[in-house]
Amino acid sequence: MTKAELIAKVAEKSGLSKKDAEKATGALIDSIVESLVAEEKVQLVGFGTFEVHHREARKGRNPRTKEEITIPASAYPVFKAGKPFKDAVSK
């Protein structure tokens, strides 16, 4: 499902116009991203949890030159599905 298809589905199920559904969907996504950038956990009960995990800096190797390099530390988003969501998908 693409973002456009999601917006159309939200508009259909909620009775909103596509323009309003696009604003609502965009606001939801933007709010989740802003919270994760601020290192806040986002919990949507019955759906799941978004949070930021951190990866330490580590040593790696360039496969072409076999030269040792340092891979910098990074942060990455993680989503953990809630139980009702998992149960609905597994049926």
- pLDDT one digit per residue (tens) for the chain, 91 residues: 999 999 999 999 999 999 999 999 999 999 999 999 999 999 999 999 999 999 999 999 999 999 999 999 999 999 999 999 999 999 8
Local structure of residue 35 (DSSP, 8 states): H
Question: Which two tokens mark 49?
Answer: 């949890």
For 41-91, the fitting CATH number among 3.90.1170.50, 4.10.520.10, 1.10.10.60, 3.30.200.20 is 4.10.520.10
Phi, psi of 55 (to 5 degrees): -115, 130
Burial of 91 (0-12, 13-18, 19+ CB in 10 A): exposed
Collect all residues with Cβ–Cβ distance below 8 Å to 3 and sequence separation of at least 6: 25
Question: How do the domains of the chain map onto residue ranges?
Answer: 1-38, 41-91
The reported pTM is 0.81
